[in-house]
Amino acid sequence: MISKLIKGNKKFKDTHFHKLEGKFDHLVEYGQSPDVLFIGCSDSRVVPDLIMDSKPGDMFILRNIGNFVPTYKNDDDFHGSSAAIEYAVSVLNVRDIIICGHSHCGACESLYKDLSNEEDLVHVRKWLELGSKAKETTLSKIKDKSDMQAIYRMTEKESIKTQLENLLTYPEILRKVNAGQLDIHGWYYKIEDGSIEYFNGETDSFEELK
Ligand SMILES: [Zn+2]
């Protein structure tokens, strides 16, 4: 695989880079000023710039397991995802934040597995706590508790709603949203057909993105 990637970079330099050379020159000279913070899953099947047809400079991208947003915590620990969110909002001044969940998300499925004895997954286990509210909500709402695929699909969507709520625990995000300077969006990408649904807060449902 590594040799394939090395060949891939050569191909990129010889083809795509040339096409975008002017754009990169501009981005080097003036720096980046993306309008959007895109928070997606690390899943290899969800490739933000591919599915949005976006270009270098368009989106500041944060990917982590489950596209989770940790709640605001002003302490002395290391908070990689929170730092990226803070930087995008307070330094880059993005206008929009997209939380993009997706179908067949391994993180959401893992919420239903017992990882308590997995000693090599201490950080994953802790991180997955950010999905626990989505799991609880799903199990309280869903009627057929034997249909695991339906449970996973609902959990993926409920989690997007939770992460939107978590975004608003950041004082600067709350302030900017209330001031009309920032919009936050919950999107759901379907791996099987490439389409996206968005969360409509007024109807509390996911609808086709138009
Ligand atoms: Zn995922």
What are the structure tokens assigned to 111, written together?
Answer: 């919420």
The CATH number that applies at residue 60 is 3.40.1050.10
The Cα-based distances of 186 to 119, 126, 159, 204 in angstroms read 33, 23, 10, 11
Mean pLDDT of the chain: 96
CA distance 207 to 111: 25
* 6, 49: one domain: no
* 88, 15: one domain: no
* 124, 20: one domain: no
Residue 74 main-chain phi, psi, to 5 deg = -95, 80
* 55, 77: one domain: yes
* 82, 71: one domain: yes
CA distance 199 to 206: 4
Question: Domain range spanning residue 64?
Answer: 32-208
Query: Strands 205-208, 96-102: parallel, antiparallel or unpaired by DSSP?
Result: unpaired
Cα-to-centroid distance, 126 and ligand 1 (Å): 16
Amino acid at 186: G
Q: What is the pLDDT of residues 72-109, one digit of tens each?
A: 999 999 999 999 999 999 999 999 999 999 999 999 99
* 44, 80: one domain: yes
* 25, 120: one domain: no
Cα-to-centroid distance, 110 and ligand 1 (Å): 10
Cα-to-centroid distance, 195 and ligand 1 (Å): 16
* 146, 103: one domain: yes
Say if residue 34's pLDDT is above 90: yes
The Cα-based distances of 206 to 34, 186, 200 in angstroms read 26, 9, 6
Listing DSSP states for 49-94 in one string gives: HHHTT--TTTEEEEEEGGG--PPP--SSS--HHHHHHHHHHHTS--
Cα-to-centroid distance, 15 and ligand 1 (Å): 31
* 8, 44: one domain: no
Q: What is the DSSP letter of 170?
A: S
* 27, 109: one domain: no
Cα-to-centroid distance, 90 and ligand 1 (Å): 27
Amino acid at 81: S
Q: Please state the domain count of the chain.
A: 2
* 96, 62: one domain: yes
HSE-CB for 188 with a 13 A CA cutoff = 20
Say if residue 210's pLDDT is above 90: no
CA distance 182 to 89: 9
* 60, 11: one domain: no
Say if residue 58's pLDDT is above 90: yes
Say if residue 156's pLDDT is above 90: yes
Q: Beta-carbon neighbour count of residue 57 at 10 Å?
A: 17
Q: What is the pTM of this model?
A: 0.96
